Chain A
Amino acid sequence: RKEVEQDPGPFNVPEGATVAFNCTYSNSASQSFFWYRQDCRKEPKLLMSVYSSGNEDGRFTAQLNRASQYISLLIRDSKLSDSATYLCVVNTNAGKSTFGDGTTLTVKP
């Protein structure tokens, strides 16, 4: 079993749709959590950190459930520019990062 698992998709949604991505992690000692987006042939870019209380940044909402070892990312009112691969990243206390394989999103007109 992988340390960080994501549904690979692809998710194909129309503009304006709401889409949710899920991520589970196996290491209960994990300390910090992030969502990154990666465009084709580009480096990953930090989208947002994920806090236990849940956090929102514009159209993006991230949630963490430590008991279930589960992280989610919700995108509302999808834009064409949201098309990318979304990576779930989990850090241990030692600072080691483990990346999920990513979920591919394509937003269509």
Chain B
Amino acid sequence: GAVVSQHPSWVICKSGTSVKIECRSLDFQATTMFWYRQFPKQSLMLMATSNEGSKATYEQGVEKDKFLINHASLTLSTLTVTSAHPEDSSFYICSASNSGRGQFFGPGTRLTVL
């Protein structure tokens, strides 16, 4: 149990375009989902915490107008990187919390902005 999927697994886009990443909990309901970013050889950095039906809570330094998060249901959260630039190229990972038994991560989305 506790499977989280993420789509797409990788994406290459031109600078200035927007990219939408989906995160789904497949076999459990997740009231809270988290979005992380990881640059090469660095640790996971929490970007925002997403609660179903309410606005996401962003970490300091993360622009909420650039990284739009929607958590429309208990099984789906989306992250949209608006007007992506090369410096946004990274590994974006979502996770869903399951009753305090740790977080279960999606397989990640590797974004490359040209």
In contact, A97 and B34 (Cβ under 8 angstroms) = yes
* Interface assignment of B67: CB less than 8 Å from any CB of chain A: no
Query: Quick one: which of B93-110 are within 8 Å of A by CB?
Result: 93, 97, 100-108, 110
Count of A-B contacts judged by CB separation below 8 Å = 44
In contact, B108 and A87 (Cβ under 8 angstroms) = no
Binds A, one of B43-51, B68-76, B82-90: B43-51
Q: Name the one of B46, B93, B106, B110 contacting A97, with C-beta atoms under 8 angstroms.
A: B46
- In the bound complex, residues from chain A placing their C-beta under 8 Å from that of B100 are 32, 91, 95
In contact, B108 and A97 (Cβ under 8 angstroms) = no
What is the interface of chain B mostly: helix, strand, loop, or mixed? strand
* Interface assignment of A34: CB less than 8 Å from any CB of chain B: yes
Binds B, one of A22-30, A44-52, A66-74, A75-83: A44-52
* Interface assignment of B32: CB less than 8 Å from any CB of chain A: yes
In contact, A43 and B108 (Cβ under 8 angstroms) = yes
- In the bound complex, residues from chain B placing their C-beta under 8 Å from that of A102 are 43
If A43-B93, A101-B43 touch, whether A49 touches B102 (CB-CB below 8 Å) is: yes
Q: Name the one of B42, B102, B106 contacting A46, with C-beta atoms under 8 angstroms.
A: B102
- In the bound complex, residues from chain B placing their C-beta under 8 Å from that of A45 are 105
Q: Which residues of A line the B interface, CB within 8 A?
A: 32, 34, 36, 41-46, 49, 87, 89, 91, 95-102
